[in-house]
Amino acid sequence: MLLEVRDVSVRYAGAVVLNGVSLNVNEGEIVTIIGSNGAGKTTILRTISGLKRPATGEIIFQGKKIEKTLAQNIVKMGIGHVPEGRDLFPGMPVVDNLKLGAYLQRDKNQIAQNLEKVFRTFPVLKA
């Protein structure tokens, strides 16, 4: 099991916003979280990535409990959370936004190879 979320509950200002959420992600599997606005999709992702602490439950990544781990250390483990539609760095060129995803990598050749792979997959980004 790559990722397990076990019976996680999350509160904001004392109000329960997630109650007993569980999910599993196996290696190579794609899992989607679908729901209406306010259903808790962003909250569970923020909790998995360490931006929010669960009130109860466990989050296990590659066999290690991470629910009390700092977000920056969760990133180092390989879990990332990219907010959708937020325009976090709209003034930066596309390539600089993409390079932000490699800030933990030190191998410049590997970074260049990864960028080329992204450009082959999404040619409009290179333009």
Q: What value does the mean pLDDT take over residues 114-127?
A: 92
45 band by pLDDT with thresholds 50, 70 and 90: very high
Q: With contact defined as beta carbons under 8 Å apart, do 18 and 10 qualify?
A: yes
Positions of CATH 3.40.50.300 in the chain: 3-77
Identify the residue whose tokens are 């191998």: 107
Claim: this prediction has a pTM higher than 0.85: no
pLDDT above 70: residue 86: no
pLDDT above 70: residue 113: yes
DSSP H/E element including 23: strand 15-25
Cα–Cα distance between 113 and 101 in angstroms, integer?
13
87 band by pLDDT with thresholds 50, 70 and 90: low
Cα–Cα distance between 59 and 68 in angstroms, integer?
9
pLDDT at 92: 87
Q: What value does the mean pLDDT take over residues 121-125?
A: 92
105 band by pLDDT with thresholds 50, 70 and 90: confident
Q: What value does the mean pLDDT take over residues 24-48?
A: 94
Q: What value does the mean pLDDT take over residues 33-41?
A: 93
Cα–Cα distance between 9 and 120 in angstroms, integer?
40
* Inter-CA distances, 89 with 14, 31, 81, 93, 118, Å: 32, 27, 15, 9, 19
CATH code: domain 3-77 is 3.40.50.300
